[in-house]
């Protein structure tokens, strides 16, 4: 049986066995990075990254998008 195919959000690499990938869950207020786990990867709106470098690309974009936002001053938002 063929498993789910995951695609890196940054480089579009596809893998059916992305054991060393990372999963990111994020919203306006928080960003959570997880080591690869299928239960994390399959959650709604999970983002998938083929390695640390591409996870960091996404994290940098996320920070930039909130640069200057007053919401950042409230860690519980
Ligand atoms: Zn990638």
Distance of CA 59 to the CA centre of its chain: 8
- Given a cut of 60, whether residue 74 has pLDDT beyond it is no
Model pLDDT for residues 31-73, shown as the tens digit of each residue: 999 999 999 999 999 999 999 999 999 999 999 886 545 554 5
Pairwise pLDDT comparison (27 vs 57), residue with the higher score: 57
Quote the ligand 1 centre to 46 CA distance (angstroms): 15
Model pTM greater than 0.85? no
Quote the ligand 1 centre to 33 CA distance (angstroms): 15
- Which one, of 49, 63, 42, lies nearest residue 20 by Cα? 49
Quote the ligand 1 centre to 75 CA distance (angstroms): 29
- Given a cut of 50, whether residue 20 has pLDDT beyond it is yes
Quote the ligand 1 centre to 49 CA distance (angstroms): 5
Quote the ligand 1 centre to 64 CA distance (angstroms): 19
Full 3-state SS string of 26-45: ECCCCEEEEECCHHHHCCCC
User: What pairing do the DSSP bridges indicate for beta strands 22-26 and 14-15?
Assistant: unpaired
Q: Determine the pLDDT at residue 27.
A: 87
**DSSP structure class, residue 43:** S
């Amino acid at each position: 049986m063929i498993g789910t195919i995951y695609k890196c959000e940054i480089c579009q690499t596809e893998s059916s066995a992305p054991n060393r990938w990372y999963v990111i869950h994020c919203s306006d207020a928080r960003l959570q990075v997880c080591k690869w786990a299928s239960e994390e990867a399959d959650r709604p709106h999970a983002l998938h990254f083929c390695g640390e470098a591409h996870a960091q690309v996404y994290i940098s974009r996320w920070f930039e998008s909130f640069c200057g936002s007053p919401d950042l001053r409230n860690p519980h938002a």
